[in-house]
Amino acid sequence: MGDTGMETPGFAFRVLHRHGHARVGRLTTPHGDVETPAFVAVGTQATVKSLTPDDLVEVGTEIIFANTYHLYLRPGADVVAELGGLHEFMQWHRPIMTDSGGFQVFSLGASIEQGVGKIAPIFPGETPEIPTRRKPTEGRSLVEVTDEGVRFRSHLDGSRHWFTPEVAIRVQRQLGADIILAFDECTSPLHDYEYTRQAMERTHRWALRSLEAFHATRPQHGYPQALYGIVQGGAYEDLRRRSTRFIAELPFDGFAVGGSLGRTKADMWRVLEWTVPDLPPDKPRHLLGIGEVPDIFAAVERGVDTFDCVAPTRMARNAGLLARTLDGERLPRFRINMRNARFRRDPRPPVEGCACPTCRTYSRAYLHHLFRANELLAYRLATLHNLFFMNRLMADIRAALQEGTFEALKAHWLGP
Amino acid sequence: MGDTGMETPGFAFRVLHRHGHARVGRLTTPHGDVETPAFVAVGTQATVKSLTPDDLVEVGTEIIFANTYHLYLRPGADVVAELGGLHEFMQWHRPIMTDSGGFQVFSLGASIEQGVGKIAPIFPGETPEIPTRRKPTEGRSLVEVTDEGVRFRSHLDGSRHWFTPEVAIRVQRQLGADIILAFDECTSPLHDYEYTRQAMERTHRWALRSLEAFHATRPQHGYPQALYGIVQGGAYEDLRRRSTRFIAELPFDGFAVGGSLGRTKADMWRVLEWTVPDLPPDKPRHLLGIGEVPDIFAAVERGVDTFDCVAPTRMARNAGLLARTLDGERLPRFRINMRNARFRRDPRPPVEGCACPTCRTYSRAYLHHLFRANELLAYRLATLHNLFFMNRLMADIRAALQEGTFEALKAHWLGP
């Protein structure tokens, strides 16, 4: 399958069109194709919160992302494996990606163990995908990292666990996502150069061990899995360039850019410029945890193919509907707060002109009422809208890249 | 429309078949027909918690029930009216009933004002349909009841409100349900004979005023509304018989049995025997707030046509799936707790043999996981099942009545 980029039989990545560094592509997996650039909806606990798989199909989602750390702790990777893997377990029959567990081990594990960075759920009872507040420099000392692996505590019950590259691969074999990730140590903007360098070098050693473990194990659910490597190195140019060179040479099926992307959007753009151009041009590139509208445009034009992010679905549960709006200063904003009192009697669709199931059916007044009344249907209707919005945005970006109108589309969204 | 029972043009009730006191009928409303006996799903705040109208259609729901008290307080009956009435507001285009607000005024209003009977929501943030704990004898003295009406406080913000038969009719005209209820004073098993008698007599005077207000006002949304009277009288035979005689003589479109039905199932059956036989045979009969499986059978065979109850939907949010099960003593039970650890690895459908969207698609293990992980999808999948269950049970009861096999069906469900 050399001409289609990926190493593992059953997978392919075809670049259909290029526009500068940006690419329009098609990612083929055992569970179907994904048109890229694509947004990957996050379904942390084997469910995209409030939606069924049918809902996801209805709003155009082609691929979802689940979290290894969460599923390993609950219900347990062995349980998911017994039930036939993630696709069967959650009855989603399109592609799935899982992360390696690294990010949450270092964030959730650390923050709980410390009693700092207490996790603030969106509403009581909800399990967070990622902590909303972290102090990783403190956390680092309490999550025990050695070259062998990481010892951490469950954020659910404080039980002790041990993750290594081999464990991360074994668990992801059990879960059975189409695309799985190498185990990495995730650093934050609060980590200094020296620690970021050590963590990066550990991540490189773990990349080799992840590959080895991947090839030493077999898929468990009757279809192959692809393995992506992860570039680390924080917001330091020399580290990012070193990490890219190292990881890009390894026989991964695709590549993810992870870890700290700095503190500002400009930092993130620079990190992408230090990394993406040196990744193999014929393999897919994933950007971890990014999904705001300006970031999507910036990453697409720097050559990224897929993105996962909790923001659209989390924002929905906070009554935020994604929309192209202009605020008082004519700066683009991308969020309408449905709890706002001005919607109380507003008979218009939540976002005018939107063709999503929510906006085709209900009024702003009704959504406003559901949010004010804390009704479960509110979260679902807003989530449908936000995922439809993201999928539609990505489709528009793909079309614009094909038609050579990407810059015009970007100006329409972000202003000149 | 004399031959079809109801007083208001646009409505009809046809008894298609009788079996003892039980009837199979068809209730015609401006928003379509309801085959009876029917279960009326509760959508307190203009939403059946977690479901869309499409979901309700999918599980066979033909009619829903909304609460005037809740909607009057939030979003406000004027808001619902401005948006075109309840059907338009929530985009449910089949029949709707509303209560008069009386029940919640006396229960929620009282319990909040007192600081007793603190309302326990199913999960944090949820608004209860009814309080789970009440001390109405204490509450009574703080909700100010006079012959003119009731002064009460909002359970949301403590604001003061004033309800009368005329207000209840006006608000229900604004909300625009197909079937609306006369304003009544709702008593509980804790009220003594003397108070229950006074409240009943007040309810009778309010019934006359409700009828007068109904005829003095016009529907606001382009279709007629039908008005049901409510029989009160607690668990006292002479009061129930008096109340039935009084209310049954009034030109209502249908009749509801409300208030205290006693403390035991046997009490409830007796109350039905004192009331239902003396209601006009050609008009529909609704039993307020009843919906457990044995109660449904008991009420159907005593001549009740429709039932509303929060139990199936509330139980769903507590991980309880309705099912016909036999416990250790071979006594019928009707609930499976999906949080039970024995379901952790169970690949079978939640309720074997069930044709609902949830049981056709997902495993016990997945539902168990969703409930343990507090995932929003859990509430929805369980609610779909429980409403499908109720609608299927009612369809089976209708068929059994037609085929003369009602006793066999009852024995199948409840044991000999």
Higher pLDDT: A125 or A383? It is A383
Chain B environment of A51 (Cβ under 8 Å)? 377
CA distance B63 to B92: 9
Contact B255, B63 (CB under 8 A): no
CA distance readout (Å), B2 to B14, B16, B155, B228, B254: 11, 16, 42, 16, 13
Contact A356, A384 (CB under 8 A): yes
Cβ pair A124:B123 closer than 8 A: yes
Which range is least confidently modeled, A127-141, A286-300, B369-383? A127-141
Domains, chain B: 2-312 (3.20.20.105), 316-407 (no CATH)
Is B99 one of the catalytic residues?
A: yes
Contact B98, B118 (CB under 8 A): no
Lookup: tokens for A8: 């593992």
Note down pLDDT in tens along chain B; length 416 residues. 345 779 899 999 999 999 999 999 999 999 999 999 999 999 999 999 999 999 999 999 999 999 999 999 999 999 999 999 999 999 999 999 999 988 888 777 654 444 333 344 445 456 555 444 444 444 444 688 999 999 988 888 888 999 999 999 999 999 999 999 999 999 888 889 999 999 999 999 999 999 999 999 999 999 999 999 999 999 999 999 999 999 999 999 999 999 888 889 899 999 999 999 999 999 999 999 999 999 999 999 999 999 999 999 999 999 999 999 866 666 677 999 999 999 999 999 999 999 999 999 999 999 999 999 999 999 999 999 999 999 999 999 999 999 999 999 999 999 87
A399 touches chain B (CB under 8 A): no
Does the structure show a pLDDT above 50 at A248?
Answer: yes
Chain A environment of B83 (Cβ under 8 Å)? 345, 347, 363, 365-366
Contact B66, B96 (CB under 8 A): yes
pLDDT in tens, A31-57: 999 999 999 999 999 999 999 999 999
Contact B95, B178 (CB under 8 A): yes
Instruction: State how far Cα B37 lies from the chain centre.
Output: 13
Query: Looking at CA atoms only, how far is residue A347 from chain B in angstroms?
Result: 6
Strands (E), B272-400: 285-287, 306-309, 320-326, 332-337
A348 touches chain B (CB under 8 A): no
Cβ pair B46:A124 closer than 8 A: no
Phi and psi torsions of B175, nearest 5°: -65, -40
Chain B environment of A370 (Cβ under 8 Å)? 45, 47
CA distance A322 to A337: 9
- The 8-class DSSP code of residue B160 comes to E
Instruction: Among B47, B64, B127, B346, pick the best mutation site for testing chain A contact (most A Cβ within 10 A).
Output: B47
Phi and psi torsions of A195, nearest 5°: -70, -40
Number of C-alpha atoms within 13 angstroms, CB side, residue A350?
35
Lookup: tokens for B331: 């006594």
Chain B environment of A344 (Cβ under 8 Å)? 75, 79
CA distance A178 to A31: 7
How confident is the model at residue A189, as a pLDDT? 86
How confident is the model at residue B351, as a pLDDT? 96
Lookup: tokens for B142: 């703080």
Catalytic (active-site) positions of A = 99, 308
Contact B279, B285 (CB under 8 A): yes
How confident is the model at residue A109, as a pLDDT? 62
Contact A61, A41 (CB under 8 A): yes
A385 touches chain B (CB under 8 A): no
Strand partners for A41? A64, A309
CA distance B13 to B41: 20
CA distance readout (Å), A394 to A34, A73, A292, B259: 11, 33, 12, 56
Contact A261, A291 (CB under 8 A): no
Cβ pair A368:B51 closer than 8 A: no
How confident is the model at residue A132, as a pLDDT? 41
Number of residues in chain B: 416
pLDDT in tens, A106-122: 777 654 444 333 344 44
Contact A33, A41 (CB under 8 A): no
CA distance B7 to B251: 7
Q: Cβ–Cβ contacts within 10 Å for residue B205, how many?
A: 11
Chain A environment of B347 (Cβ under 8 Å)? 82-84
User: What is the enclosing helix (H) or strand (E) of B39?
Assistant: strand B38-42
Strands (E), A6-78: 12-19, 22-29, 32-36, 38-42, 64-66
CA distance B388 to B275: 30
Q: Of A209, A113, A228, give the one whose Cα is nearest residue A165.
A: A209
Does the structure show a pLDDT above 80 at A319?
Answer: yes
Q: Of A116, A234, A249, A235, give the one whose Cα is nearest residue A184.
A: A234
- The 8-class DSSP code of residue B277 comes to G
Cβ pair B74:A377 closer than 8 A: no
Chain A environment of B49 (Cβ under 8 Å)? 375-377
Query: Looking at CA atoms only, how far is residue B377 from chain A in angstroms?
Result: 5
Which of B75, B126, B362 has its CB closest to that of A374?
A: B126
Confidence tier at A329 by pLDDT (50, 70, 90): low
Q: Exposed, middle or buried, B222 (CB in 10 Å: 0-12/13-18/19+)?
A: exposed
Cβ pair B83:A363 closer than 8 A: yes
Instruction: Among B366, B367, B385, pick the best mutation site for testing chain A contact (most A Cβ within 10 A).
Output: B366
Please state the rounded mean pLDDT for residues A378-395.
98
DSSP string, B174-192: HHT-SEEE-------TTS-
Q: Exposed, middle or buried, B249 (CB in 10 Å: 0-12/13-18/19+)?
A: exposed
- The 8-class DSSP code of residue B326 comes to E
Which of B126, B361, B365 has its CB closest to that of A83?
A: B365
Chain A environment of B361 (Cβ under 8 Å)? 91
Lookup: tokens for A98: 């899982």
CA distance A352 to A360: 9
- The 8-class DSSP code of residue B27 comes to E
3-state secondary structure of B281: coil
Amino acid at site A190: L
Lookup: tokens for A286: 């994933």
**From A378, which residue of chain B is nearest by alpha-carbon distance?**
B50
Cβ pair A126:B374 closer than 8 A: yes
B366 touches chain A (CB under 8 A): yes
Q: Of A170, A183, A164, give the one whose Cα is nearest residue A229.
A: A183
Instruction: Among A44, A52, A360, pick the best mutation site for testing chain B contact (most B Cβ within 10 A).
Output: A52
Does the structure show a pLDDT above 60 at A136?
Answer: no
Cβ pair B375:A124 closer than 8 A: no
Contact A84, A166 (CB under 8 A): no
pLDDT in tens, A210-238: 999 999 999 999 999 999 999 999 999 99
A33 touches chain B (CB under 8 A): no
Query: Looking at CA atoms only, how far is residue B138 from chain A in angstroms?
Result: 28
How confident is the model at residue A1, as a pLDDT? 39
Number of C-alpha atoms within 13 angstroms, CB side, residue A69?
29
Q: Cβ–Cβ contacts within 10 Å for residue A3, how many?
A: 7
Query: Looking at CA atoms only, how far is residue A157 from chain B in angstroms?
Result: 13
CA distance A323 to A316: 12
Instruction: State how far Cα B317 lies from the chain centre.
Output: 17
How confident is the model at residue B107, as a pLDDT? 76
Strand partners for A42? A65
How confident is the model at residue B129, as a pLDDT? 54
CA distance readout (Å), B381 to A83, A305, B40, B357, B360: 18, 34, 19, 8, 11
Chain A environment of B46 (Cβ under 8 Å)? 366, 369
Which of A74, A82, A83 has its CB closest to that of B372?
A: A74
Lookup: tokens for A241: 């360039």
How confident is the model at residue A107, as a pLDDT? 76
CA distance readout (Å), A264 to A261, B231, B248: 8, 68, 73
